[in-house]
């Protein structure tokens, strides 16, 4: 079965959830993978291209998660083994310089995933995100000289979407009950677990900050940990 509706339209999301329940008698797993690209550097990005990418990715996830969450809440089954599997991207996690709209949307999905994991755990739902690395119709729109791994031979199957399926299958299974609110990476023949954001260092004052004292403490405590751009697979694309 398929539905050609606009995934960012909430009516489409509800229709898809209702269709699954009507057809199979229940809903156990929701996978959100729809997406588009409108790549440009931030100084050249049109308003319409920003809005379109944010809408499809973020509202597209919301449109299906909301009715699925309502359905699972109605079940009142803390042992339901229900699953939400969202798709994020290394573009968000590592800052692709030519994809500000896509990176923002995909980082938003990580926040959305964490939120619904915390909100829905009592109803037997886990929610996790996957950052995939694969050659698809989506990545086919990227110019060849901008693609990561563009030097791989055409016969190399490490970029096949088939390599992402096993971790999706695992997350959809009852065996993954222990994992929720996390971001995984899957590319080639490897799977990674990303850290959730965490505090690396902190400073404090006994009262309102004196700007010069604040500057001294920031330099002393933060600079050794954070000077310069963070390491990224996109460093070769950063303008010099």
Query: Which one from 63, 82, 91, 102 is the annotated catalytic residue?
Result: 102
Q: Which two tokens stand for residue 28?
A: 């156990």
Query: Which one from 89, 91, 96, 180 is the annotated catalytic residue?
Result: 89
Query: Which one from 91, 96, 106, 180 is the annotated catalytic residue?
Result: 106
Catalytic residue status for 106: yes
User: In angstroms, what CA-CA distances link 183 with 50, 117, 213?
Assistant: 24, 12, 37
Quote the distance between the C-alpha of residue 178 and its chain's center.
20
Which residue do the tokens 């989506």 mark? 138
Phi, psi (rounded to 5 degrees) for 105: -65, -45
Q: Which residues contact 39 (CB under 8 A, 6 or more apart)?
A: 98, 99, 102, 141, 142, 146
Annotated catalytic residues are 89, 102, 106
């Amino acid at each position: 079965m398929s539905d050609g509706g606009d995934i960012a339209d909430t009516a489409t999301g509800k229709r898809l959830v209702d269709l699954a329940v009507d057809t199979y008698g229940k809903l156990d797993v929701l996978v959100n993978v729809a997406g588009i690209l409108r790549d440009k550097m931030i100084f050249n990005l049109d308003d319409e291209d920003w809005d379109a990418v944010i809408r499809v990715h973020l509202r597209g996830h919301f449109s299906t998660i909301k009715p699925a969450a309502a359905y699972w809440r109605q079940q009142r089954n803390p042992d339901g083994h229900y699953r939400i599997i969202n798709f994020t991207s290394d573009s968000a996690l590592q800052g692709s310089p030519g994809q500000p709209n896509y990176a923002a949307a995909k980082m938003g999905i990580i926040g959305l995933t964490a939120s619904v994991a915390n909100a829905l755990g009592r109803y037997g739902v886990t929610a996790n995100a996957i950052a995939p690395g694969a050659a698809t119709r989506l990545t086919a729109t990227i110019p060849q000289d901008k693609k990561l791994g563009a030097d791989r031979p055409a016969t190399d199957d490490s970029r096949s979407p088939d390599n992402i399926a096993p971790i999706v299958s695992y997350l959809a299974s009852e065996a993954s009950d222990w994992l929720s609110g996390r971001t995984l990476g899957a590319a080639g023949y490897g799977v990674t677990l990303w850290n959730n954001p965490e505090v690396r260092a902190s400073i404090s004052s006994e009262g309102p900050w004196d700007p010069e004292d604040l500057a001294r403490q920031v330099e002393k405590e933060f600079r050794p940990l954070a000077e310069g751009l963070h390491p990224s697979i996109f460093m070769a694309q950063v303008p010099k």
